[in-house]
């Protein structure tokens, strides 16, 4: 199986992540659906604690999350596909689930996402490393924040050891220490050069 940069955007740039609970909801969904569960996330949330401990996942995970960044209007994911068409099934369930949540929340109907998600194959470890930096610097690049560790809705804080919860499984694809990765991201003098290296992976 292979690694892909996956990108999806809301219709007409509509702001679909409006408050902290929206971001937390989609991040919970990222984790939940990767393991190929039997039941919808909304139904899972309604279960009592003891029932949540019962097996609700299949034996074959769909994807492995290597990096992510949730922006107000779009999502960047770096995914390792663990079974055939795993990304397609994962994204279908993830995006449909969030659409139901958001539409119910704001009392709207209809699609939320701009056509089908986009994905592109990552060819090398070097491309993967630079791609994760691009994904983590997204909120800085658009001027939302000044430094990536201030954005709570990406995997950057996890990469540099500021987040205890482990969503991403980067091994064996990336072998870099937290300190080295932080330095790599903060040394942006070669950022434009790295963009040239991965320009075919940028889907916005």
**Domain of residue 188, CATH code:** 3.30.70.1290
- Give the residue among 61, 69, 123, 112 at the shortest CA–CA distance from 87: 61
Report pLDDT digits (tens) over 163-197: 888 899 998 899 999 999 999 998 864 564 566 56
Report pLDDT digits (tens) over 55-84: 566 668 999 999 999 999 999 999 999 999
Q: Find the mean pLDDT for residues 2-17.
A: 93
Counted residue by residue, the chain has a size of 204
Q: Find the mean pLDDT for residues 88-98.
A: 95
Contacts of 194 (CB under 8 A, 6+ apart): 130, 133, 134
Instruction: Pick the most confident of 58-62, 95-99, 105-109.
Output: 95-99
Q: Which has more pLDDT, 203 or 5?
A: 5
Q: Find the mean pLDDT for residues 100-119.
A: 90
Report pLDDT digits (tens) over 122-154: 999 999 999 999 999 999 888 898 889 999 999
Contacts of 103 (CB under 8 A, 6+ apart): 109, 110, 112
Q: What is the mean pLDDT of the chain?
A: 87
Structural domain count, the chain: 1
Q: What is the pLDDT of residue 189?
A: 47
Domain hosting 102: range is 3-201
């Amino acid at each position: 199986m292979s690694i892909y940069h996956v990108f999806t955007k809301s219709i007409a740039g509509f702001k679909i992540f409006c408050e902290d609970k929206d971001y937390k909801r989609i991040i919970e969904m990222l984790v939940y659906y990767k393991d190929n569960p039997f039941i919808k996330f909304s139904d899972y949330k309604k279960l009592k604690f003891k029932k949540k401990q019962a097996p609700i996942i299949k034996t074959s995970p769909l994807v492995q999350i290597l990096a992510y960044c949730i922006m107000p209007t779009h999502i960047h994911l770096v995914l390792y596909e663990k079974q055939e068409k795993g990304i397609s099934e994962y994204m279908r369930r993830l995006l449909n689930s969030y659409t139901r949540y958001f539409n119910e929340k704001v009392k709207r109907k209809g699609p939320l996402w701009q056509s089908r998600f986009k994905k592109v194959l990552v060819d090398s470890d070097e491309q993967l490393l630079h791609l994760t930096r691009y994904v983590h610097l997204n909120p800085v690049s658009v001027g939302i924040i000044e430094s990536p560790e201030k954005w709570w809705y990406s995997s950057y804080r996890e990469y540099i050891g500021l987040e205890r919860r482990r969503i991403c499984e980067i091994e064996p694809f990336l072998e870099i220490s937290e300190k080295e990765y932080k330095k790599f991201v903060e040394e942006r003098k070669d950022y434009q050069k790295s963009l040239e290296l991965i320009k075919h992976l940028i889907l916005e």
